Amino acid sequence: MRASFLPLLALLATGCERMPEDPIFLYGQVKHPDGSPASGTALHVDRALDSFDHLPGGSGYLEGRVWKYEPFSEGATEASGNFTLSVLSGDLSNEAASESYYGILQHRFRVYPPLEADGSGVFVAFIADDDVELPPLQPWASGLTVGDGPSLTFAAAPPAPELPPSATLPMYLSENTGESVSAPPSTPEPVVQLVGRDGLIWQQVQATSPWTPSPYVLEDFAGVEAQVRAASGGQWYFEPLVAEPSTLTFRLEWRSPRVGLPGGALRPVSRNAPCSPTPVDRPCPYTDGKLEAVLTRPMVEGAPQAPGVESLTFTLDAPRRLRRLVVRNLETTLDSDARMRVVLEGSVDGGEWATLGSFVHENHAEDPSRIILDFSLRDTGSDSPFDGKMELLTPPAFLDVPLPQELPVRYVRLSVAPEEGTWRGRLWKLSEVSLFE
């Protein structure tokens, strides 16, 4: 932000290790969407306590960490839009010990101004060790509009935050040259989300404007709203001359207003079809149209078991010639692979199976600084104080694909595999599978 903060940090520091009651200062700036200073703007500060749930042996380790934020403090910007927030060193982390773990648990914070009048907003969530400068908070003038189709148009994503003069970037070894290379914050890209009354209908990462959802994506959902989001994750290192060094690991995220879309009119032939194995003691949760993401294999605390299932089989009411597959919110044991293969098979009698479609899905882009992004973005999808989950490091799969083989089938089997592999991965979690004639 401003190098002028560094002398202040040095004066406040004693040069000794921080005590829990020592003050820590967070510096930042809030701007209006046009870049002008946002003076006298209220700021909300929330905190989420770290816990053992995400450590090996805890249930949260397999499911992914969900930070549970609670209100912590409030603040306001000066006429210049600048702000200074104070916390105690003991608020940032605590030393913890258990039978399986001994170390420092770092607590996560988020800072955000109220939403703009049109519904656009911005926040930063972070973990810090000591005094830090936060990325500027400037809402995104996305210009999201709905046209014929319906087609969504929106502006390019905001740029990644610039490195403050008082900070340095983390380094990693290049696999190509073996040299140390700096890792800047990730480049924000538009992510379109369609939200219905029951949850997330669709997520399109790396979306380009204009973007038009197919009628199969809209299905027969009512009350559909669209929005576009973008985020950047990164690390900055601060090393004042006298104060303690500090690492800021952050996620900066922007959101547009939500706009209404016309409801869909296509009902899948798989609606309310039974599935096997059934993960719950009720009708199949993957064909009920309720959009809830459900584990394919319920977890039992302390019981060793392989995650997920190798495949899910759906039974239609009669043989159908299927021509479209839509999969929503699919998580698998192959999510860490850059690409995976999604396979759909069909059978008339459940005995002999034929491939209806085999599709390569890109889980995420290849990134040489991925180890740095892992620290910045893993398990941060639930950070938003405004919206639902948006995981960027290993986003869930959303597929809308035509089926090249329109064979009459009654039984349909879904599985995943490595792009060039012959063995199966495991389906871990998903919300909905829709099949259309």
Alpha-carbon distance values, 238 to 3, 22, 212, 370 (Å): 11, 18, 44, 22
Residues 6+ apart with CB under 8 A from 28: 1, 82, 83, 85, 111, 124, 133, 134, 135, 136, 137
Instruction: Name the β-bridge partners of 231.
Output: 253
Does the model's pTM come out above 0.95? no
Q: How far apart are CA 422 and CA 229, in angstroms?
A: 36
Q: How far apart are CA 51 and CA 65, in angstroms?
A: 10
Do 122 and 112 meet the contact criterion of CB atoms below 8 Å apart? yes
Burial of residue 159, with CB atoms counted within 10 A of its CB: 0-12 exposed, 13-18 middle, 19 or more buried:
exposed
Sort strands 23-29 and 132-133 into parallel, antiparallel or unpaired. Answer: parallel
Do 373 and 188 meet the contact criterion of CB atoms below 8 Å apart? no
Q: Among 80, 184, 86, which residue's Cα sits nearest to residue 132? A: 86
SS3 278: coil
pLDDT at 192: 98
pLDDT at 266: 97
Q: How far apart are CA 90 and CA 293, in angstroms?
A: 36
**pLDDT tens-place string over residues 338-388:** 899 999 999 999 999 999 999 999 988 777 777 778 878 888 899 999 999
**pLDDT tens-place string over residues 161-189:** 999 999 999 988 877 777 888 999 999 99
Q: Where do the domains of the chain lie? A: 5-260, 275-436
**pLDDT tens-place string over residues 192-212:** 999 998 899 999 999 999 999
Listed as ranges, residues in the chain with pLDDT below 70 are 1-16, 52-64, 96-103, 241-243, 299-306
Do 143 and 209 meet the contact criterion of CB atoms below 8 Å apart? no
Angle at 358 between CA 357 and CA 363, to 5 degrees: 135
Do 226 and 261 meet the contact criterion of CB atoms below 8 Å apart? yes
Please report, to the nearest 10 degrees, the dihedral formed by the alpha carbons of residues 96, 97, 103, 109 taken in order.
Answer: -30
CATH class label, 275-436:
mainly beta
Do 114 and 130 meet the contact criterion of CB atoms below 8 Å apart? no
Do 137 and 37 meet the contact criterion of CB atoms below 8 Å apart? no
pLDDT at 246: 94
Neighbours of 91 (CB within 10 A): 16
Do 392 and 252 meet the contact criterion of CB atoms below 8 Å apart? no
Q: How far apart are CA 193 and CA 255, in angstroms?
A: 10
Joined tokens for residue 332: 């698998």
Angle at 277 between CA 271 and CA 279, to 5 degrees: 80
Do 33 and 120 meet the contact criterion of CB atoms below 8 Å apart? yes
Residues 6+ apart with CB under 8 A from 105: 49, 50, 51, 52, 93, 94, 95, 96
Joined tokens for residue 328: 């929503």
Do 37 and 79 meet the contact criterion of CB atoms below 8 Å apart? yes
Q: At 92, phi and psi to the nearest 5?
A: -80, -30
pLDDT at 204: 97
pLDDT at 58: 45
